[in-house]
Amino acid sequence: MITLYTAPMSGNGRKVHMLLEEVGASYQLSKLDLQKGEQKTPDYLRLNPNGKVPTLVDDDFVLWESNAILLYLIEKFSAQSLLPTGLHDRAHVFQWLLFEQTTFRPPLSLLVRQTRFTPPDKQDIAAIAQAQSEVQSNMGILQEALSGREYLGGTFSAADIAVLPYVYLARDLGTDLSPWPQVEAYWQRLSVRPSWQKIIAWKG
Ligand SMILES: N[C@@H](CCC(=O)N[C@@H](CS)C(=O)NCC(=O)O)C(=O)O
């Protein structure tokens, strides 16, 4: 049995949850309340010493780091369409998986921490401005990448599943996508997928 330890608002959790839906896996969810620190309990830290969600438990196999979990599930369920086999197409999917973790997600996470969980008088205005500027720049990168193609890897792939929760988060934080029409169209295209509709409705 596959168990996904996650939290409803977690972008990293959402991507794994979405992939489980895309591949038609049978799985159960174990919800953690991040505000209560349930990701730092000794029992959970035994599964994931990083104290974060998501963590996947597949019988006695334990895996953490969301994009590693995506790649594991693609192999386990032979979902080849989500990871192209051509050398260059596959390399591009890896590129976007790394871009998402190292560049796209961090300023959005900072904005969540600063604007939703920090009292106004303690907010770091300079850090917020820097993060907003990085979000704009990253949207420009996506806009360029999506010119002439519907999906980051050419066809729908793990790259889109990794990036989608953070396009959602950018919009949720108030980013107007209209300056980047390719990104707006990409959002419209991806967000109607039944897998996304199902997981975004999950509140635990
Ligand atoms: N690189 C990790 C990042 C995981 C991560 O930062 N998860 C967040 C939720 S999206 C979390 O658990 N935050 C709670 C905490 O850091 O205590 C991954 O991709 O799985």
Q: What domains does the chain contain, in order, with CATH numbers?
A: 2-81+197-201 (3.40.30.10), 83-193 (1.20.1050.10)
Cα angle 89, 103, 31 (rounded to 5 degrees) comes to: 95
**Quick one: pLDDT at residue 204?**
85
**Quick one: pLDDT at residue 142?**
98
* Cβ–ligand 1 contact at 14 (below 6 Å): no
* Cβ–ligand 1 contact at 48 (below 6 Å): no
CB 177 within 8 A of CB 184: yes
* Cβ–ligand 1 contact at 6 (below 6 Å): no
Q: How far is the CA of 14 from the centre of ligand 1 (A)?
A: 11
- Looking at the CA of residue 37, tell me the nearest atom of ligand 1: 17
Q: Any residues with CB less than 8 A from the CB of 86 and at least 6 apart, and which?
A: none
Helix-, strand-, coil-residue percentages of the chain, each rounded to 5: 60, 10, 30
- Looking at the CA of residue 64, tell me the nearest atom of ligand 1: 20
Q: How far is CA 162 from CA 10, 37, 99, in A?
A: 12, 25, 10
**Quick one: pLDDT at residue 44?**
98
**Quick one: pLDDT at residue 6?**
98
**How many whole angstroms separate alpha carbon 66 and alpha carbon 158?**
11
* Cβ–ligand 1 contact at 65 (below 6 Å): yes
No. of H helices and E strands in the chain?
A: 9, 4
Alpha helices (H) in 48-193, listed in sequence order:
66-76, 87-99, 105-116, 125-145, 158-172, 181-191
* Cβ–ligand 1 contact at 55 (below 6 Å): no
Q: How far is the CA of 192 from the centre of ligand 1 (A)?
A: 25
* Cβ–ligand 1 contact at 10 (below 6 Å): yes
How many residues does the structure list for the chain? Answer: 204
> How would you write the pLDDT of the chain (204 residues) with one tens digit per residue?
999 999 999 999 999 999 999 999 999 999 999 999 999 999 999 999 999 999 999 999 999 999 999 999 999 999 999 999 999 999 999 999 999 999 999 999 999 999 999 999 999 999 999 999 999 999 999 999 999 999 999 999 999 999 999 999 999 999 999 999 999 999 999 999 999 999 999 998
Burial status of residue 89 (CB atoms within 10 A of its CB: 0-12, 13-18, 19 or more): middle
**How many whole angstroms separate alpha carbon 196 and alpha carbon 199?**
5
Q: What is the DSSP string of 88-113?
A: HHHHHHHHHHHHIIIIIHHHHHHHHH
- Which amino acid is it at 172? D
**How many whole angstroms separate alpha carbon 115 and alpha carbon 76?**
39
**Quick one: pLDDT at residue 111?**
98
Q: How far is the CA of 165 from the centre of ligand 1 (A)?
A: 13
Helix or strand holding residue 72 (H, E): helix 66-76
